[in-house]
Structure 1
């Protein structure tokens, strides 16, 4: 039996999966690492932590493996998007990585519009300038850390740095490059026009590859540290959302994904590079060759739920924390929550907005609040689905993965709020499985990713929308949409009081 490894480099932890030729996850190891948040809106990590924890995870996985290391043919990656990693001419780190959920770059987003122009940016990158993207972070370093900016030899994204440390090779795949605001999405090349307008030397942009491309083998040193064979093939991998799409079988027209992790994503497959959503949702290159996807993002999806638990029920297990929500009626007896606790992205690109509970009543219990948080996260994701539908897309079936797919009540809430069938897969690994599939395809086990998905992915249950709940949630969704408009100004005024 042959095997591949999928490495999912997330925001809070790295997870490594050992997958066999039948698509079964035979081993998995996870290692966590901290965030560095020196100020409100700042979010950084030490890339050395990614490498050290991944090395530990792989060493543990190989030590537990019953076969020979040479049976592990390939390894590929899924990684948190947008994070800025910068290296000097000796390929040494210049500073901590600035992550996707860092919101310090509002000023730089405006600079991009002032210099490049919003219409020009949209025509090239298919996306608007948001604080989370990579380009504003580069401009922030240029403005506030000019000595460091002058030393930049190359920039890369988190999983690319991890792969570089394992192989000594520097590349970036199209699906991750699409989230930098420097890629010409249609032409699949770095935009010299944007670089020149913003006085960024194009040479700092790394070579571009497909997600399934072979980019090298692991170094002798890394093989010795982990127990892997030096012959282990290394494939480029992709952005976590692109890999999540692959790992959920979103590989053809009409397929849609809901992924709820720290952030939440609604993603829909696109065959062409010419759809125009006017920047209301993201438009990126897929991990599948010559394919694309549209995507809406809720910045604090699962994070809103874990935040609420940590603050108000840290002593409980997650199962106990969620107990009883199935007995709370749809709408949580008039309690609404907006998951804007770190700002928002879709459809409100606003780093200043913050969350709210609306409609609190003395009769509400903890279960009402927990269900309201879950409903609020799902309402936020539904805003992206409604944008897709308004563009003419039919969305009647959605594959759900991540934390939101682990609880049956939440899956039914998704079916009711999205007014669509929700499919639960046998494996909820999503991005990690997508990374493993890229390695399997790259190793030649299958002729296409679609063929790989037929073998690797199994559907275990379908949740149908309940008509009574659909009607109630449609009414509540209209009220939910008013909360942003009515709290925006208040949150602007409160900004100066935040630590």
Structure 2
């Protein structure tokens, strides 16, 4: 049979899926939490990721009735952008600044002002925000320069976990393309960016990892850390990927189809055979995990918005869904600009949420609906931006992530787009996508072939029942314009 393990080390937790390496059948899964974080300072220690991986791997083995020695390949997908800094002895120099840490917004603004949005889009396919790794390195250079003097490796979250398994510093093009110092269209690190905005005195070529191809092994699991998991030393380790990139593999996203990922962050994405360079700053023209491109728009505020609404209303998520679906769809209803913790798309790190359209007869149902619509309307704007960047994004719409379990999210998305929205049998799409990659490296296959062979079947289709009135959309656009403070942020 052969068994592969797919790992999803996300912001909130680590999930491991064990699958049959030939047909992709799920054998067992496990999950363990990560320490909670909240912007503007959002940091975790990589030791906590490893502890969660050990726990979730053991749980998956128990659920499958397998032993660690039965696993033949493993691949790790993880949250993107996070800055892992290691010293000469592979000691972690400081906690990892995560993708949603916004403290480097001043560095991001300075970089964009210097090179210009168009210059950045040409260089790396995206315009940096505080999410990008290069801005976090620049923040360290300004505030903690002592760490640069002992810096031996710069890794991303999935690189670090793979490094613990193999002892090799390896990343993949999907993750590298979100750093701000890798040109995926030229397949090279832009060390000149690091010299210009971080430090000219470092040998950056020796600090950065090897960039593996989509089906290229990162190595084998021969380290003491891999031994802690009970893995055989000949277990092959895949190149890994960013979480959204692996999710596209796991969902079986075909060309032209559009994926809405509703999790801690909200992401709308599609696939492309050509590189995308969007000078507006909305669309990240990143590489995918299959040899192509994955133009996407990422928002900071997704299911956390409905988490807050449920807490304020004193209900669980099932009741929040019922309330939202029961709300009267009046055109002058309550509208939420859902920038609770700042925003990434558009780049408004200091923004906060605004609620408009309050009336004396406002209802609990209307507030629940406003929370869902506030998330969806932000992502629909991102979908429009992808089209405006010249990418065909008009195929089947698929929703995934925790929010896709809510009928309210699916219905509001279908109504906002005016097209059906479907879900697929891939509740843990990122872990599934990592398992796809592990199977490809185990069998020496093209990852695209395994992706298509394992494509999950459709589970739910939600048809639009109406539309979101233009009055609501106009109110939303007005609120998002007011949500960002007008004063200039101090340089820090």
Q: Same fold (TM over 0.5)?
A: yes
In 2 relative to 1, CA 371–215 (structure 1 residues): closer, same or farther, beyond 3 Å?
Answer: same
- Preserved contact between residue 162 and residue 218 of structure 2 (Cα < 8 Å): no
Are 2:101 and 1:102 aligned? yes
Cα distance, 1:300 vs structure 2: 0.9
Pairing of 1:277-296 with structure 2 (within 5 A): 278-289=280-291, 291-296=292-297
Aligned to 1:208: 211
Counterpart in 2 of 1:24? Answer: 25
Equivalent residue number for residue 485 of structure 1 = 481
Q: Which stretch has the larger CA shift, 120-129 or 5-14?
A: 120-129
Tell me which of 211, 218, 221 is aligned to 1:218.
221
* Partner Cα separation in structure 1 for residue 164 and residue 483 of structure 2: 45
Q: What's the CA shift for 1:35?
A: 3.3
Query: Residues 31-75 of structure 1, C-alpha deviation per residue, up to 9 Å, x if partnerless?
Result: 1121355xx611100111001111122123224432454442211
Cα distance in 2 for partners of 1:153, 1:427 equals 38
| CA-CA distance at 1:275 after TM superposition | 5.0
1:107 to 1:6, Cα distance in 2 relative to 1, 3 A: same
Q: Report the counterpart of residue 262 of structure 2 in structure 1.
A: 260
Q: 2:369 aligns with which of 364, 371, 386?
A: 371
Cα contact 1:402–1:428 (8 A) shared by 2: yes
CA gap of 1:218–1:448, structure 2 versus 1, over 3 A, is closer
Q: Superposition pairs for residues 31-180 of structure 1, below 5 Å?
A: 31-35=32-36, 41-67=40-66, 69-180=68-179
Shift of 1:94: 0.4
Distance 2:252 2:329 in 1: 30
Partner in structure 2 of residue 297 of structure 1: 298
Q: Matches of 1:301 and 1:161 in 2, distance apart?
A: 27
Aligned partners of 1:152, 1:310: CA distance in 2, in Å?
Answer: 43
Q: Is the 8 A contact 2:126 2:277 kept in 1?
A: no
C-alpha contact 2:250 2:451 (8 A) present in aligned 1: no
Residues 111 and 494 (structure 1 numbering): CA distance in 2 closer, same or farther, change over 3 Å? closer
CA RMSD of aligned residues (A): 2.3
Cα 1:228–1:26 change in 2 (3 A) is same
2:73/2:237 contact within 8 Å kept:
yes
- How far apart are the structure 2 equivalents of 1:371 and 1:146? 47
TM-score by length of 2: 0.92
Structure 1 residue 213 displacement after superposition: 1.8
CA separation of 1:170 and 1:351: change in aligned 2, threshold 3 A: same
Structure 1 runs, 4 residues or longer, greater than 6 Å off: 493-496
Displacement of 1:429: 1.4
Deviation at 1:493, TM superposition (A): 6.3
Ranges in structure 2 where 5+ consecutive residues have no aligned partner? none
Alignment of 1:393-472 (within 5 A): 393-444=392-443, 447-466=446-465, 469-470=466-467, 472=468
Counterparts of 1:461 and 1:413, CA distance in 2: 15
| Shift in Å, 1:186 | 0.9
Kindly tell me: are residues 111 and 493 of structure 1, through their superposed partners in 2, closer, same or farther at Cα, counting changes over 3 Å?
A: closer
**Is the contact made by 2:259 and 2:398 (CA closer than 8 Å) also made in structure 1?**
yes
